[in-house]
Amino acid sequence: MIYLQRSLIVLSAVCALGFSSAYSDELSVPLEGIWKATASTDGGDKNYTVTVTSDGGSLGGTIIEDGKEDSRNLDRVSVEGKAVSIGITFEANGQTGEVKVAAKETDPGKLSGEWSIVDSSGTKLMGGDWTATKEVEESLAGTWDSVVELPESGTMNSVLKFTEKDGGYEGTVESETHNSTVKKVTDADGKVTIDVTIEQEGVQMNAQIRSERDGNDLVGSWHLLDGNGGETASGVWKATKRAEFVLVGSWEITAILPEEKELQATFDIHQTDDGLAGTAKMGDDGTELKSVTVGEDGAVTITLDFEMDGTAGVATIAAAPDGINTLTGKWTFTDGGSENFDGKWSASRADAKRGVLRR
C-alpha cells in the first residue's frame, strides 16, 4: 500500500518538473524560453517541454510531458549565479509534498543537476538525475514574404524586413500601396506579435499582427485598430522567410567576352578570419581572388588579376543574388589606361544547373 501511494505521488509529481526565469545579474542563467528537460526515474527517462516566461518580474511557466496534452503550471524558482533551484508543490491521495530541482548551468543553454520528491515533513522519497537543454529559435532577422487576406475578398502581398537591434528587432513593411514602419516586435514562447503604423492618404492607423512560429512560417491574423485600441477589421495573415543567400562554396562561372566569346571558370569561395576569400580556376590555371565582399544589400563584388588579349589588368565583377543558387551581373576590365572592356556575367552553385547570359 505504501509503495502504491509513493508510486502515485511520483507519477503526479514528476509530471510537474519545471522551472522559471530570472535575470538578477550578468552571471544569472537566462532561463526565459523553451527548454527540453529529462528526468531519470526508476521506470526510465521522462522527457518534458518547458516554457519559461517572465512577466514584470513575476516568474512563471508551464511544463508538459512529451506525448501528453495536459500542461502544469510552475510554482517556485530562484537563480543565484549559475545555480537554479526549483520547488513545485503537489497533492496526491491526500498527501502533500514538493518536487525539488537543484541544477547548475554547465554550458550556455545547458543545465544539469538532480530532482527529488520530499513529503510534508521534508523526508526525501526518491530522486534522480535531471538535465535540460534550451531550444534556440531562429532569429526573425531577414526578409519575409507575407500574404494578407482582405475582409471582403482577395489578398494583398507585402514584404517584411527585420534587423536585430539592441537585443530586439526593428523593421519595415513594404507593399505596392504603402510602406510602413514596425513599431514593436515581441518574440517569445513561439508567438510573434508585430505592431505596425500604417499611413494611407495622410491618415495614420495602427495594426497588430498576432502569429505563431510554424517551421519557416509565421501564421496568424492581422488586426486594424482604432485610436482607442478597438478592433475595426481583421483577417488571416501568413509570412514565409526567404532563404538567406550564402556566398561560401563552389561556383561555376560564365562570362561573355567581346565578340560573344564565352569564358567559363570555377570560383571557390571560403570564409577566413578576415572575411571572404577564394580562388578562380580557368582550365589548368588558377589564381587567388584579390577581394570578395558582400554588401548590406546583398550585392557581391569580386576582383581578380586578369589578362585580356595579352594585356594585364584587373577584372571587377558586380553581381546580385537571383535566388539562393544564382548570381547575375556584369564584369569590367581595365589595365589602368586605355584598355577597358565589359560584359555580362553569371554564376551558379557547382551542384546547380548553370545558366548563360548573353548580351
Beta bridge partners of 132: 37, 111
Domains 2-135 and 249-349 share a fold: yes
Confidence of residue 352 (pLDDT cuts 50, 70, 90): low
Q: Please check the confidence at residue 109 and state whether its pLDDT lies above 90.
A: no
| Nearest in space to 314 (alpha carbons), one of 304, 301, 328, 300 | 304
Please tell me the predicted confidence (pLDDT) of residue 26.
Answer: 43
Long-range contacts of 123-128 (CB under 8 A, 24+ apart): 125/6, 125/9, 125/10, 125/97, 126/6, 126/10, 126/41, 126/42, 128/39, 128/40, 128/41, 128/42
0.75 surpassed by pTM: no
Q: Please check the confidence at residue 188 and state whether its pLDDT lies above 90.
A: no
Confidence of residue 200 (pLDDT cuts 50, 70, 90): low
Mean pLDDT of 196-213: 84
Give the rounded distance of the alpha carbon of 40 from its chain centre.
Answer: 31
The counts of H helices and E strands in the chain are 1, 26
Please tell me the predicted confidence (pLDDT) of residue 296.
Answer: 74
Q: Please check the confidence at residue 11 and state whether its pLDDT lies above 70.
A: no
Which strands, in side-by-side order, build the sheet including 110-119?
Answer: 72-73, 58-65, 44-55, 33-41, 124-135, 110-119, 95-107, 83-92, 76-80
What are the boundaries of each domain within the chain? Answer: 2-135, 142-241, 249-349
> Contact 136/130 with Cβ under 8 angstroms?
no
97-106: pLDDT as tens digits: 888 888 999 9
- Give the domain 249-349 fold: Lipocalin (2.40.128)
Report the C-alpha dihedral over residues 23, 25, 29, 30, rounded to 10 degrees: 40
Using DSSP bridges, classify how beta strands 168-175 and 179-188 pair: parallel, antiparallel or unpaired. antiparallel
Range name among 90-94, 316-320, 337-341, 350-354 with the lowest pLDDT average? 350-354
Confidence of residue 204 (pLDDT cuts 50, 70, 90): confident
DSSP one-letter code for 352 = S
Say whether domain 142-241 belongs to CATH 3.40.50.300: no
Phi, psi of 48 (to 5 degrees): -135, 155
132-185: pLDDT as tens digits: 998 877 788 888 999 999 888 889 899 999 988 887 889 999 888 778 889 999
Range name among 12-21, 165-174, 301-310, 332-341 with the lowest pLDDT average? 12-21
Confidence of residue 108 (pLDDT cuts 50, 70, 90): confident
Mean pLDDT of 111-116: 93
Please tell me the predicted confidence (pLDDT) of residue 322.
Answer: 87
Q: Which amino acid is at 259?
A: E
Please tell me the predicted confidence (pLDDT) of residue 15.
Answer: 43
Q: Please check the confidence at residue 202 and state whether its pLDDT lies above 60.
A: yes
More confident site: 216 or 358: 216
22-48: pLDDT as tens digits: 334 444 777 777 889 999 999 999 998
3-state class of 259 per DSSP? helix
Please tell me the predicted confidence (pLDDT) of residue 177.
Answer: 78
More confident site: 252 or 231: 252
The 10 Å CB-count burial string (b at 16+, else e) for 214-225 is eeeebebebbbb
| Nearest in space to 108 (alpha carbons), one of 73, 136, 80, 89 | 136
The percent of residues in the chain predicted with pLDDT above 90, rounded, is 39
Phi, psi of 245 (to 5 degrees): -80, 130
- Give the domain 2-135 fold: Lipocalin (2.40.128)
Burial class (CB in 10 A: 0-12, 13-18, 19+), 144: buried
- Average pLDDT over the chain reads 82
Q: Please check the confidence at residue 354 and state whether its pLDDT lies above 80.
A: no
Please tell me the predicted confidence (pLDDT) of residue 355.
Answer: 38
CA angle 81, 103, 85 (to 5 degrees): 70
Query: Which residue shows C-alpha cell 488586426?
Result: 223
d(Cα 168, Cα 193) in Å, to the nearest integer?
12
Mean pLDDT of 251-258: 93
Please tell me the predicted confidence (pLDDT) of residue 198.
Answer: 80
